[in-house]
Structure 1
Amino acid sequence: MTRTNKQVLFIQGGGDKQDYEADKQLVDSLQAGLGKAYSLHYPRLPTESTPDFGRMKQIGREISRMAGGLILVGHSLGASMLLKYCSENEVRKEVSALFLISTPFWSGDEDWKDGFKLREDFAETLPKNVSIFFYHCRDDEEVPFDHLAMYKQQIPWATFREIDNGGHQLNNDLRIVANDILSV
């Protein structure tokens, strides 16, 4: 890795080894689409026994390890936790864009969701001058497609990519995301 490479931090969905391995296919597809000018960092984030599975602390630690400016990409739970992290913490690194794939919008009264929910004013506290992209397939079998509409209401200035099919994993093909990263 050279210093001229653009840094991409990819945060996995879920929390177990199976989720990490499944999202590795997304990372490989993204790296292929971006080429050698981009360095992808894909840390394994273990599930901790905290309400947010330890994600807030883990994401902060991974961002602090990155050199220079960076691009943040998350899938599913990882996408929602990146959004939560960026809306609740001062990000001390230069972040040029945030790419969120199959992002759940956590709601409801179940206690187990409390560590994942966004604050009511989350959109107002997101870093300024950061491009935000959302991607969601209509046939997502894990995160309902209508979650994308909730984000559209809250963050109307973001870019939204509605994809007809590809399921929760976008058929393990992130060319659409790579093209958007190359455009920012």
Structure 2
Amino acid sequence: MAKQVLFVQGAGEGVHDRWDNKLVASLARELGESYAVRYPRMPGEDDPSYSAWKAALMGEFVSLEAGAILVGHSVGGTILIHALAEQSPELRLGGLFIIAAPFIGEGGWPSDDIHDCKDFSERLPPGVPVYLYHGADDAIVPPAHVHLYAKAIPHAVVRTFERRDHQLNNDMSDVAQDIRSVG
């Protein structure tokens, strides 16, 4: 049976169908038939609400099996990590992979919707490998944000890529390699 991967899209008008679908296609191609990548449409992608996206994520978590992999891109990664810190799913996760996510809090971006969290390591599900990715040429979320997350999650593996943009140039080969390494 294929290992489950839940991919949480970023925010913005048309992101699900015109941008992040390319990331999902690359990830599915790189992972192969041993993995089943799910890509649900998040509510109100052009104006995301933390509470609406968190509720949608909690609904998705119910249908996951033990060892499922969670991948979040951009604002989707931000919301995913905050939702997990607030309310872990019942099942054991195989890994958390966050790509080009804005950091909320000191040094990062402000939010009226999401509270800042200085230390995720104590609040995330225990024993779950965490990987953080960012392209050095990201013109949407400053690359410094990945280092703010690294400080808040000291056990995370951090990967920054030269000449890669907010979408990692639509190349998920490095992420797929790390996903295969954890499960």
Q: Fold conserved (TM > 0.5)?
A: yes
Segments of 5+ residues of structure 2 without an aligned counterpart are none
For residues 151 and 50 of structure 1, the distance between their equivalents in structure 2, rounded to whole angstroms, comes to 21
TM-superposed deviation, 1:143 = 0.3
Decide whether aligned partners of structure 1 residues 119 and 62 sit closer, same or farther in structure 2, where only a CA change above 3 A counts: same
Distance in 2, matches of 1:156 and 1:119, equals 13
For 2:27, which of 30, 49, 56 is the aligned residue? 30
Equivalences for residues 158-173 of structure 1 within 5 A? 158-173=156-171
Partner residue, 2:59: 61
Q: Residue in 2 aligned with 1:138?
A: 136
How many residue pairs get aligned? The number is 177
**Deviations, residues 130-156 of structure 1 (Å, cap 9, x unaligned):** 000000011101000111111121111
Answer whether contact 2:118 2:152 (CA < 8 A) is retained.
Answer: no
Q: Return the alpha-carbon distance in structure 1 between the equivalents of residues 164 and 104 of structure 2.
A: 22
* Equivalent position of 1:19 in the other structure: 15
SS in 2 for 1:134: strand
CA distance in 1 between partners of 2:141 and 2:135 (Å): 9
**Distance in 2, Cα, partners of 1:153 & 1:126:** 14
1:28-58 alpha-carbon deviations (Å, 9 max, x no partner): 0000000001000000012188841611101
Equivalences for 1:110-125 in 2 at 5 Å?
113-125=111-123
* Secondary structure of residue in 2 paired with 1:123: coil
Percent identity between matched residues is: 38
Question: What secondary structure is seen at the aligned counterpart in 1 of 2:179?
Answer: helix
Task: Give how far 1:119 is off.
Answer: 3.1
Deviation of the 1:157 alpha carbon: 0.9
User: Is residue 82 of structure 2 the alignment partner of residue 75 of structure 1?
Assistant: no
User: Which whole-Å CA distance do the structure 2 matches of 1:103 and 1:148 have between them?
Assistant: 7
Read off the aligned partner of 2:5 and give its amino acid letter. V
Hey, what does 2:126 align to over in structure 1?
Answer: 128
- 1:47 matches 2:44: yes
In structure 1, runs of 5+ residues without a counterpart are none
Q: Is the 8 A contact 2:6 2:69 kept in 1?
A: yes
Q: Secondary structure at the match of 2:71?
A: strand
Contact 2:11–2:48 (Cα < 8 Å) also in 1 = no
TM-score (norm 2): 0.90
C-alpha deviation, 1:121, in angstroms: 4.2
Scaled by the length of structure 1, the TM-score of the pair is 0.89
Contact 1:88 1:122 (8 Å CA) reproduced: no
Call closer, same or farther: CA 1:50–1:143 in 2, change over 3 Å.
closer
- The answer to whether the aligner puts 1:107 opposite 2:105 as a matched pair is yes
